[in-house]
Amino acid sequence: TNKRSFSMFNLQIIPVSPFQQNCSIIWDDNKNAAIIDAGDNAEKIIEFVESQGLNVEKLLLTHGHLDHIMAVEKVRDHFGVEVYGSHKADQPLFEQLPQMCEMFGIPPIKGFLPDHWLNEGDKISVGSLNFDVRHLPGHAPGHIGFFDFENKIAFSGDVLFKDSIGRTDLYMGNLDQLLETIHTKMFDLDDDFIIIAGHGSHTTIGREKIHNPFLK
């Protein structure tokens, strides 16, 4: 028989930063966890993880914009884990974090680099959960997404939103590239694939194919 055992997928979204960025905490049945885009409000993220008794294995990053990475070093140091992502093309964004903060009127946070850059086709596991990495440039040059094909859920940062798409006016943003990314690396997914965006509500691929005004 061809039975597949699905592990439970647990998700908590904590909006952080003045930009209300969706920091996602994911974990399996055995409480093995990862934190995706620890953007700000480190104390709030740590408090939730500890309240649930989760065992954080790693931090994951979709891209290097400040609202996705400002709490990374605090959270990394607290749990003593390594940071995976984004793609190396984002390196200048990590190095220029203090200048980015100043530009947005936020007290500067020192630059840092992830422990591991990720590439298209890499695989990341979190306990019994498994993710395929896709490189999703256009909003940021090194932007990536984490795709769980078993549970049909993707953490794709600021690429595709409910009724919208990522902005392309920041460092190395490119609208044509972003649209190409969405059409080739997201719209090939099943319609019921859930998209957890970097801001706002979650959505599905099928819904955005029909309703997203930028993609008609």
Which tens digits make up the pLDDT trace of 198-209?
A: 999 999 999 999
156: preceding bond cis by omega (within 30 degrees): no
Residues 101, 158: contact at Cβ < 8 Å? no
Q: Write out the H or E segment, with its range, that includes residue 148.
A: strand 144-148
Q: How confident is the model at residue 6 (pLDDT cuts 50, 70, 90)?
A: low
Other C-beta atoms closer than 10 Å to the C-beta of 178 total 24
Q: Comparing C-alpha atoms, which of 75, 76, 77, 28 is closest to residue 52?
A: 28
Residue-wise pLDDT tens digits, 97-147: 999 999 999 999 999 999 999 999 999 999 999 999 999 999 999 999 999
Please report which confidence band the pLDDT of residue 4 belongs to, taking 50, 70 and 90 as the band edges. Answer: very low
User: Do the bridges between strand 164-165 and strand 194-197 make them parallel or antiparallel, or are there none, so unpaired?
Assistant: unpaired
SS3 label, residue 120: coil
- Work out the average pLDDT over 162-167: 98
Average pLDDT over residues 190-205: 97
Cα–Cα dist 80/185, whole Å:
33
Element (H, E) at 134: strand 129-135
Do the Cβ atoms of 189 and 182 come closer than 8 Å?
no
Q: What is the mean pLDDT of the chain?
A: 96
Mean pLDDT for 41-47 is 98
| Residues 177 and 137 sit within 8 Å (Cβ to Cβ) | yes
Residue 216 pLDDT: 85
The pLDDT of residue 7 is: 59
pTM value > 0.85: yes
The residue-averaged pLDDT of 43-47 equals 98
In DSSP terms, 12 is beta-bridged to 25
* pLDDT at residue 2, rounded to an integer: 47
pLDDT of residue 71: 98
The pLDDT of residue 8 is: 81
